[in-house]
Amino acid sequence: MPKKRSIFSYIVWSACAVVVGGAFVATPVFLIKHVASYALFLQASGDIFVRVEETINKARGKETVRVADTSLMKEKSRIYETRVLSQPSFSVPENGVALFADLREMMIRLYRDGKLEAEFPIVSKGKPGSLWETPTGSYRVKTKEENHYSTIGNVWMPHSMQFFGNFFIHGWPHYADGSPVPQGFSGGCIRLSEKDAKNLFSLVDIGTSLFVTNGAGPALLLASADTPEEEQLGYRGIETFSPPPAISGSAAIVGDIENSFLFFEKKSQESLPIASLSKLMTALISVEAANQFQKIQVTEADVAAYGEAGGLRAGDRMEMGELLWPLLLASSNDAAYAIARQLGTEQFVRLMNEKSESLGFVNTFYAEPSGLDPENKSTALDMFKLVQHLWNNKRSLLEMTAERSHKKWRNIHPFASKSSFAGGKTGYIPEAKKTIVSVFSLPFSEFMERHIAIVVLGSEDIQSDVERLRVWVKQNFAYGLESPLESQQVEYTTEDLQDPSDSLSMIFTGDIMMNRGVEQVIHKNGNNDWMFPFLYTRDVLADADITFGNLEGPISDKGTNVGSKYSFRMDPKVADTLSSAGFDVVSLANNHMGDWGRDAFEDTMRRLQRAGVAYAGGGWNEKESLEPAIFDVRGKRVGFLAFSDVGPLWMQSKEALSGIAAIPAGNAGKTYVEKSVFQAAKKVDILVVSFHFGEEYEQAPNARQKELARLAIDQGARVVIGHHPHVVENIEEYRGGVIAYSLGNFIFDQGFSVETMAGLLLKVEFNGNNLAAVIPIPVRMNEYYQPEVE
- CA 717-723-727 angle, 5° bins: 130
**Cα–Cα distances in Å, from 274 out to 2, 93, 263, 469, 622?**
18, 58, 22, 19, 55
Q: Note the Cα 463 to chain centre separation in Å.
A: 11
Question: How many CB atoms are closer than 10 A to CB 574?
Answer: 28
β partners of residue 639: 630, 687
Give the dihedral of Cα atoms 599, 603, 605, 608; nearest 10 deg.
Answer: -160
Q: Note the Cα 362 to chain centre separation in Å.
A: 31
The 8-class DSSP code of residue 101 comes to E
In angstroms, what is the C-alpha Rg of the chain? 29
Give the dihedral of Cα atoms 470, 476, 481, 486; nearest 10 deg.
Answer: -120
Q: Are strands 504-512 and 546-551 parallel, antiparallel or unpaired?
A: parallel
The whole-angstrom separation of Cα 366 and Cα 272 is 12
Residues labelled as active-site residues: 170, 189, 276, 279, 331
Let me know if 613 is exposed, middle or buried by CB neighbors in 10 A (0-12, 13-18, 19+): buried
H or E segment and range at residue 599: helix 597-611
Q: Note the Cα 97 to chain centre separation in Å.
A: 42
Give the dihedral sign, CA 27/31/36/41.
negative
Using DSSP, state whether 764 is helix, strand or coil. Answer: strand
Q: Are 76 and 484 in contact (CB under 8 A)?
A: yes
Q: Are 436 and 384 in contact (CB under 8 A)?
A: no
Q: Are strands 758-767 and 504-512 parallel, antiparallel or unpaired?
A: antiparallel
Q: Are 119 and 192 in contact (CB under 8 A)?
A: no
Residues composing the chain: 790
Q: Are 396 and 31 in contact (CB under 8 A)?
A: yes
Q: Are 624 and 611 in contact (CB under 8 A)?
A: no
Region for residue 257 given its phi and psi (left: phi exceeds 0; alpha: psi -120 to 50; beta: otherwise): alpha
The whole-angstrom separation of Cα 672 and Cα 663 is 7
The whole-angstrom separation of Cα 430 and Cα 259 is 34
The whole-angstrom separation of Cα 77 and Cα 124 is 31
Q: Are 352 and 221 in contact (CB under 8 A)?
A: no
- 425 marked as binding residue: yes
Q: Are 711 and 673 in contact (CB under 8 A)?
A: yes
Residue list, annotated binding site: 425
Residue list, annotated binding site for substrate: 425
